[in-house]
Structure 1
Amino acid sequence: LLNPGLNCNDTAFIRVNVFPGVTADFEVEFDTCISDPVIFTDLSVSEAGPDALVAWNWDFGDGNTSDEQNPAHLYQVAGNLNVALEVRDLNNCTGRVEKVIEYFPVPKVVVVAPSEVDACQPATILFDNLSFPIDETYDIRWDFGDGTFGTEISPLHTYEDVGVYTVSLEITSPLGCFTDTVFQDLVTVRPSPTAGFTFTPSTVSNIDPTVTFTDQSQNAVRWEWDFSGLGASTLPNPVFTFPDTGLMQVTQVVFHASGCTDTARALIDVTPEVRYFLPNAFTPNGDGRNDLFFGNGVLKGATDFVLTIWNRYGEKLFETTDPEIGWNGRKNNTGRLAPPGVYVVVVRYRGPRGDRVELRGFVTLIR
């Protein structure tokens, strides 16, 4: 009613529908000790009538849901689970209820998946426990069959000795429910060889790159060698010549009659060695014999080479950056003849790995 008693007034009529209420409820049935499906029975009612409920929305508290009226759900987790039910009737009215279920049964079937069942000594095996529902609140006891035990849900265990092992597992829930399983002859551990070798010489270079390898393995029937990808051998005591310098990884793989293997590795530094020697005399008389003075040796990998020759007055008579070019006894190889006598020789270069080297010596010029 708007502006009652006045000439300008109006009246509006509004119909308000008040629908009957909805009350959500349910009951639960399950075995306390055995992990079977949990049966949920809807007890919800709508005052609109016995068939007025049209929709059910279950949240089982483990990330799973259902829209059935009376679902059965198999839990894969244990715990105090908060279950919620929301119902809706034909008037679109809803009701909601939540209940906590104390769910701590033991697995109906104990399932274990070892990472290996036929392994080589020593055998490190993951026992993946696929049983459900279990968590850290359960009492777990493993017997690995070798005199050792474990309490983790999915333990990692190492068998040191050869043999066939029976594994057992006991599970006790927080409510005291118990189950156990024996896995007869579950794991077989086969014997393994032991790899090992020595080599000579202990210092290897491009001057002497041939290495002799001596097998030190045990219980091996076959050998495979890899020389840093540069060569291979199946001999027990191979000899190999490295074609280049650098850090080389030598790998020996040995095989037992059981098929098990073992691997040994060694790093060998093949050093780029420079050997450069200076003679102490030469005779630049034009007879074609010993007419030039220069050094001899191996300079592979050397850089920044400089050879200089000086007289006793400190005068530089010759310089070259090419180790193949020698001094002919003249100043700068074109000037006046140097008199017979003793001259100072200085050689500088940088080694293949960047180290600076300086050699000093004397050369006697004989005519």
Structure 2
Amino acid sequence: DCYNEGFLWNFHDNTTRRRTFNVLYYHVFSDTGTFSPTLIVRADNGCEDTISKIIRVLRPDASFITNMDEGCTSGLTVRFTKTSTDTLPVTWEWNFGDNTFDLSSSPSVQHTYTSELPRIYPACLTVKDIYGCRNSSCMPISLDEPDVSFKADKNFICTGEQVNFSALYDSFDSFEWDFGDGSASTVSHSHVYSSPGSFDVTLSAVKNGCLNSLQRTHYIQAEKADATYTVSDSTLDCYPATVSFTHTGGSQVAEGIWTFAPGVQSAGYRRTYQYTYSRPGIYQTSLWVRTPNNCQATRSKTITVEGPYATFEFEPSFICYGDPVSFHITSSENVSEMRWLFGDGETSTDQSPVHNYKAKGIVYPSLWVKNNTCEATLTFDPLYISLVTSAFDFPDSRSSFCQFEEIQISNQSTGYQDVTWI
């Protein structure tokens, strides 16, 4: 009797021979071609037998070509054509990678891709022969568009200021900027906004035949500082006269300063101010404003104040009771009539009068002037009039004293600052 010492398999496919005692054995061929699997059976007495069979290992050819493999997201039509030379009957299944399929077993099909964003689709062909063998091959189909993301070097500007725009990632075959204020450019990436407002900016670009656009709404905020103002009257026939100033500009104001006369400015900003002019002259007024975005503007107006005017002086300014005071006009303009008001109820129409004050105290001399449209009273520095009287007395009004007697003397003077006994 012979006893089985196992089965020795040799598949002739560059794999190691295998010995097994199982009646059933499984083997996977990793290459295609014609092979001769061989089984050697040996008994314990040295008897053996060998058998070989010819088999073909098949894999259908799933190769294919396309007329194009990249295009624009707006739409790309691709024709797929099988290039296999298999002679065995096969079926073809096309998977275009965008959840659409063609199961018509046609060796040449056409498909259109669209997408809102750039994408790569894996287009695949799966073939199956009459023996049930399957194979697949895939090819990427790319949909692209220019990346038109962009930025500006500033978003909040003052009118007249230049803004520089730049694309963030891509370079283009051609481009066009729409700056939102009625201006566009296919050459420059910079723009000057001359009017205030909120502007939408759009970049349209073409790259490799693909067009894409991006609009950023309210992207540029252009602000204009407006210092326009009105005055209640710019030509005044007489004084004192009060003028109302009103800021009528439409811009927001973070800071502002009014100037009413040389060296005379407001402490801060108010939309409306009043200022009283106390003498004639030509005054340059102005308003300066600054907006929250640091835009600045200045406007100016001229205020003309007319009327008679004169300056005068008197000397001395400190006098004793009974001393004469001389008054002199040092300058005059548009004066047809004048009158001195000495402050004690007395007046004079002389050009340079001399006046004696009959009471002590402080008086305020003034000059009344007039022309054909206006009259005014001009008051200047006060005049100080002093009355000094010297007086003293002895106790009990005595007039006789003993030799070496200490005498008490009472100073009864008035209007004095210091006393000297002699």
Give the TM-score normalised by the residue count of structure 1: 0.35
Q: Which has the higher contact order (CA 8 A, sep 6+)?
A: 1
Name the one with the larger strand percent: 2
